[in-house]
Structure 1
Amino acid sequence: MRTNQAMSKAAGLDGSLNYETFPVLDRHLADPEPSMDKAPPLPSFEFSTEGLPRSDQFDAWRNSFAPMLELTPFDDTATDFRGRQKLWDLGSLIFAQIKTDRLAFASLPGHVRREPVDHWVLTLLQTGTIRTETPRNAFKAAAGDVQVHSLGRDFSGETSRSEMLMLFVPRDFSTETAATLSAAEFSTLATGMGRLFSDYLIGVANRLPTLTMADLPGLAAATRAMILACVSPSADHIEAAEGPIATILLERARQFVQSRLLDPKLECESVRRELGISRTRLYNLFEPFGGVMHYIQHRRLISAYSALSDPNDRRLIFEIAEQRGFSDGAEFSRAFKRAFGYSPSEVRKRGGGGIPNRPARNDEDCPSEERLGLLLRRLQG
């Protein structure tokens, strides 16, 4: 019973949040009218070398990382150097999306640290490679791997042209987290749970534009639980992270269903095999959504809505329905009206509009090379 309860709350990033307070599986797309009283999303900060004089591009990129690393170029700095970062201040954490050309890096010697920062960095490499050397070991990471670095220790290395997600965790984030990351620093999380943490970071990156300040305590709790469960797996840690793990499984299911949406053979068993879980867990996972097949049907209805509202798609309504697994036009119309409140023909007659997306973000754009250092020092306390 406890497992069923945990899974039914899985739509949040921590086990205590329900799917009314933390959107999962594009739940907002089922509502034909967007909410007008939503709090504004979290601000983000961007910096790019694009548009700077060629001779200044690498220096600007190096300066943006100066509080934590010394960067060295491989190529002539008179040529283009492309670097882009997007930063999210999460209060007790910092999240960064980084895209960089090839470079070498090294930790800062103690005597040059004017305002030292001493955090752990969990880096998910999305493209490219990273090699790191420390006084005691050397290790590499490829796309999909998560590395753990400690900014307060000696290390050096190089990265190819790459894209990565970086999570900065302060030393005082929690006592258990400190012990766990200390034991794992300067290593690659190459286990199955490590891959689960990769999925978690990707999920966080995708959802940050939809979160508000009120979501930060839940996000911090979920991140702590995931670090403990994935970096130092144990039965207790994994059970404590059940909510975030369920969210990751749901996101995997969403991506799989979307990729196979028009496949007539898409069914419960194919989703179960893709996730690698038992039938019981699959049932518990999708119970809040009325079951797997109900969810698949709803995604197909959303796809049909999009096609019907496209003025360039002039296929017959029945053709659109049949492509999405509805062989009975009357059945399709009834299901469509139950989901959206109006018939397929009404959507076609209106022409355009589509299903409302989230309101556009009002990002606080701060293209300053000093932003990362400011956030890191603030995290230092």
Structure 2
Amino acid sequence: MTPIRTPSHEAGQVPRLKFSTDAVRKEEQFDAWSSFNSMAELEAITPPAEGFKASSTSYRLGGLQLTSFQLAPMKINYTQNIQRRLGLDHWCLSVATKGPVGYQNSENEVAVAPGHLLLHSYASPFSGVMENTHYSSVFFARDDFWDIADHLDRGAHKLAHGPMAQIVRDFMLSMIARADGLTQTDASALSEAFGNLVRALVTNNPATIEAAKLPIAAAQFDRARRFINANLKMPGLTPDAVCANIGVSRRQLYYLFEQQGGVASYIRNRRLAACYSTLAKSGAVRLISSVAYEYGFTNVSSFYRQFAARYGFGPGEARVAARSGQVPSITECAFVDWLRRLGE
């Protein structure tokens, strides 16, 4: 049985390539992965009989390639001979979301924990060890970043640190989370934004920070949005709490949510949407007041008024509306859409 290798390029969407060893016999899975991924010498850590579950999905975003990997334990060795054979002169920014990665070259040895950002270069040898690792990488060519090549070379084979590293990581995680829905138009916006962020990351001067102002704001907005959505039941979910979590001032936070009617309005609307969803799913089982209190509404009368103003009917009618197929109007803005609107 052959491995799953699916190139895809639906109308308007970015080109993508998916690969998985799931359909391969266990004892042949590592060989299948090695044949597909010939960019380095690979060595499985577990015996062939135990199988080698691995998959990758790659997306072409203009001059960038975004690839997400899920890998069983293995060792990798990118040698000088492979570099000469492939002729690669690319850098790669990677962020792990699961499992440690051990990485080293002739000068550095790095332990890459989940959430850390690693910059490495395919112009020189390196090696590494994976342990049931999930990570994603953005590959970009020297020719497209010639203006900061010296900075990138000095930062290669090292972890990136500081506020800009966190912003670049958040930007990458947002790209990864939405990769399957990206269009060619999105790719152009993301490629330009990523380039500005990388320049700000490695040079950290006022000119590059200013050029990256919009994608920095987009990454901050998306991080704030994710924090809010994950903490809708938290009693202390206030603008100040959001500021503390993402490390911005109240003034910057209000700028980020200006198109949403302000951060307090965004939090209220997300909580109302969560109440609507809970009431619709729970039928008559739960008291409306208990649902309102669960999501931070301390005044039930005020909750009824806000709910009706938002949806055009009261919470009690939400259950009937749900059975008829009516859903709440969600004003939450997608990451790439918000990025484009910033530049208008």
What TM-score does the superposition give when structure 1 sets the normalisation length? Answer: 0.76
- Counterpart for residue 26 of structure 2: 54
- The answer to whether the 8 Å contact 2:83/2:122 transfers is no
> Which secondary structure does the structure 2 equivalent of 1:78 belong to?
helix
Distance in 2 between residues matched to 1:53 and 1:203, nearest whole Å: 34
The structure-2 alpha-carbon separation of the partners of 1:112 and 1:183, relative to structure 1 and needing over 3 Å to count, comes to closer
Amino acid at match of 2:205: S
The structure-2 alpha-carbon separation of the partners of 1:319 and 1:155, relative to structure 1 and needing over 3 Å to count, comes to closer
Q: CA deviation at 1:189?
A: 0.9
- Counterpart for residue 165 of structure 2: 194
- Counterpart for residue 222 of structure 1: 193
- The answer to whether the 8 Å contact 1:126/1:144 transfers is yes
In the alignment, structure 1 residue 134 sits paired with structure 2 residue 105? yes
1:237 paired residue among 208, 213, 218: 208
Q: CA deviation at 1:245?
A: 1.5
Q: CA deviation at 1:166?
A: 0.8
2:37 paired residue among 56, 60, 65: 65
In the alignment, structure 1 residue 101 sits paired with structure 2 residue 69? no
- The answer to whether the 8 Å contact 1:307/1:313 transfers is no
- Counterpart for residue 176 of structure 1: 147
Q: CA deviation at 1:112?
A: 8.2
Farther off after superposition, 285-294 or 334-343: 334-343
- Counterpart for residue 203 of structure 1: 174
The structure-2 alpha-carbon separation of the partners of 1:40 and 1:314, relative to structure 1 and needing over 3 Å to count, comes to farther
Percent identical across equivalent pairs? 30
Q: CA deviation at 1:355?
A: 4.5
Amino acid at match of 2:171: Y
Farther off after superposition, 348-357 or 169-178: 348-357
Give CA-to-partner distance per residue, 1:94-142, whole Å, 9 cap, x none: 1011111121111243378554333211111222222333233333322
1:257 paired residue among 202, 209, 228: 228
The structure-2 alpha-carbon separation of the partners of 1:112 and 1:98, relative to structure 1 and needing over 3 Å to count, comes to closer
Cα RMSD (Å): 2.5
In the alignment, structure 1 residue 158 sits paired with structure 2 residue 135? no
- Counterpart for residue 342 of structure 2: none
Amino acid at match of 1:130: V
- The answer to whether the 8 Å contact 2:40/2:82 transfers is no
- The answer to whether the 8 Å contact 1:194/1:231 transfers is no
- Counterpart for residue 85 of structure 1: 56
Where do 5+ consecutive residues of structure 2 fail to align?
1-10, 331-344
- Structure with larger RCO (C-alpha < 8 A, sep 6+): 1
The structure-2 alpha-carbon separation of the partners of 1:70 and 1:313, relative to structure 1 and needing over 3 Å to count, comes to farther
Amino acid at match of 2:20: S
Q: CA deviation at 1:41?
A: 4.3
Q: CA deviation at 1:86?
A: 1.4
- The answer to whether the 8 Å contact 1:177/1:224 transfers is no
> Which secondary structure does the structure 1 equivalent of 2:306 belong to?
helix
Q: How many residues align?
A: 318
Distance in 1 between residues matched to 2:243 and 2:220, nearest whole Å: 10
In the alignment, structure 1 residue 75 sits paired with structure 2 residue 75? no
> Which secondary structure does the structure 2 equivalent of 1:306 belong to?
helix
Q: CA deviation at 1:60?
A: 1.1
Where do 5+ consecutive residues of structure 1 fail to align?
1-38, 358-381
Amino acid at match of 2:210: E
> Which secondary structure does the structure 2 equivalent of 1:59 belong to?
helix
Farther off after superposition, 50-59 or 312-321: 312-321
Farther off after superposition, 106-115 or 273-282: 106-115
> Which secondary structure does the structure 2 equivalent of 1:214 belong to?
helix
Give CA-to-partner distance per residue, 1:16-45, whole Å, 9 cap, x none: xxxxxxxxxxxxxxxxxxxxxxx8544533
- The answer to whether the 8 Å contact 1:94/1:167 transfers is yes
- Counterpart for residue 213 of structure 1: 184
